[in-house]
């Protein structure tokens, strides 16, 4: 199935919280064995909802380990937050992970949002306008470090002087760049820098934001068709709709979240139900899906997703 001239892509984000490394790595290998296109972690210092005393894996360590454990599936972070590390360090780390994985890295960046993590660890959390400025500068720096022998950069927030970045990424010209977020600031930056834009929410809301992105592309003279449209829902698929609803409610509660408040971010139901819900996105131009899956990593819905839902999409 092609959408806007692109093949359908289905990935899984294993939320690296409230779990053990053994459970996470076992689920990662299952994602690859089941034939999904990509596997992702997240970028958080604490669990993103509920109590803050559960495990949350450090991101770049996790990503490098994912590269060594897998051999086929593409790997990434959905999405890295610009405030967690300086852009030069991020560029060098990502380039090495691309080598470790044999050229399977999906690079990403967003403005960061989980304020309580920054409060807990004493890290600066500037207003959104500054976070957008940092995101724009970081993408410029990463792009220059990956494409030039040396980089000098004088920005408002970051400065580099005659800085090399070796090795360069294995992928040419660079790993695909995903921007995550739906604010107008992110959309304007995505119009200038992104290969892919990732959103959350209902198909209708995501389509409205994609239309805003298209207008941002027009403003900067970019072909909107160059940007792949991606969506990041949670999914609960089961033999019956009642079972799927119960599983989704249990998962949300386990993360300290209220399913009713997050309902537009979920796809819930039988395989046929989920196929219909996915078609609402593909009909609006979205070809790239990354389904969020939390601990405990139940393989039954993943098998249903891979064996019954994905083939039905054509």
pLDDT in tens, 151-160: 999 999 999 9
For the chain, domain boundaries: 2-312
Which class in CATH covers the domain with range 2-312? Answer: alpha beta
Query: Is the pLDDT assigned to residue 256 strictly greater than 80?
Result: no
Of 69-83, 234-248, 250-264, 277-291, which range is least confident? 250-264
Percent of the chain predicted with pLDDT > 70: 100
Determine the average pLDDT of the residues in 197-225. Answer: 98
pLDDT value, residue 85: 97
Strand 159-163 and strand 151-154: the pairing is: antiparallel
pLDDT value, residue 271: 98
Task: Pick the closest to residue 99 from 176, 167, 41 (CA basis).
Answer: 167
The tens digit of pLDDT for each residue in 67-103 reads 999 999 999 999 999 999 999 999 999 999 999 999 9
The answer to whether residues 170 and 247 touch, using CB atoms and an 8 Å cutoff, is no
Determine the average pLDDT of the residues in 117-123. Answer: 97
Give every CB contact of residue 218 below 8 A, 6+ residues apart in sequence.
224
The tens digit of pLDDT for each residue in 183-195 reads 999 999 999 999 9
Query: Is the pLDDT assigned to residue 257 strictly greater than 80?
Result: no
Query: Is the pLDDT assigned to residue 254 strictly greater than 80?
Result: no
The tens digit of pLDDT for each residue in 14-53 reads 999 999 999 999 999 999 999 999 999 999 999 998 899 9
CA distance 210 to 229: 8
């Amino acid at each position: 199935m092609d959408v806007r001239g692109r093949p359908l892509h289905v990935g899984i984000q294993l939320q690296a919280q409230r779990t053990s490394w053994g459970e996470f790595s076992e689920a990662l290998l299952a994602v690859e064995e089941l034939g999904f296109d990509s596997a992702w972690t997240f970028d958080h210092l604490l669990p993103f909802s509920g109590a803050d005393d559960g495990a949350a894996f450090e991101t770049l360590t996790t990503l490098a380990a994912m590269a060594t454990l897998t051999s086929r599936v593409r790997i990434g972070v959905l999405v890295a937050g610009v405030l967690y590390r300086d852009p030069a360090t991020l560029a060098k780390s990502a380039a090495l992970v691309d080598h470790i994985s044999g050229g399977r890295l999906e690079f990403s960046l967003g403005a960061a949002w989980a304020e309580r993590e920054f409060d807990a660890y004493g890290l600066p959390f500037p207003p959104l306008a500054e976070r957008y400025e940092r995101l724009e500068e970081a993408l410029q720096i990463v792009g220059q470090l990956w494409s030039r022998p040396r980089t000098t950069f004088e920005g408002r927030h970051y400065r580099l002087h005659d800085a090399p970045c070796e090795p360069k990424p294995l992928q040419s010209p660079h790993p695909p760049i995903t921007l995550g977020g739906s604010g107008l600031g992110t959309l304007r930056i995505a119009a200038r820098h992104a290969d892919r834009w990732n959103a959350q929410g209902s198909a209708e809301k995501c389509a409205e934001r994609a239309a805003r992105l298209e207008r941002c592309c027009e403003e900067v003279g970019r072909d909107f068709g160059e940007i792949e449209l991606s969506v990041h829902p949670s999914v609960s698929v089961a033999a019956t709709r009642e079972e799927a609803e119960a599983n989704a409610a249990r998962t949300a509660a386990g993360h300290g979240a209220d399913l009713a408040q997050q309902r537009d971010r979920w796809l819930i139901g039988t395989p046929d139900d989920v196929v219909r819900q996915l078609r609402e996105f593909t009909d609006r131009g979205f070809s790239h899906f990354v389904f969020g899956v939390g601990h405990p990593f139940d393989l039954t819905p993943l098998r249903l997703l891979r064996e019954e839902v994905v083939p039905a999409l054509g």
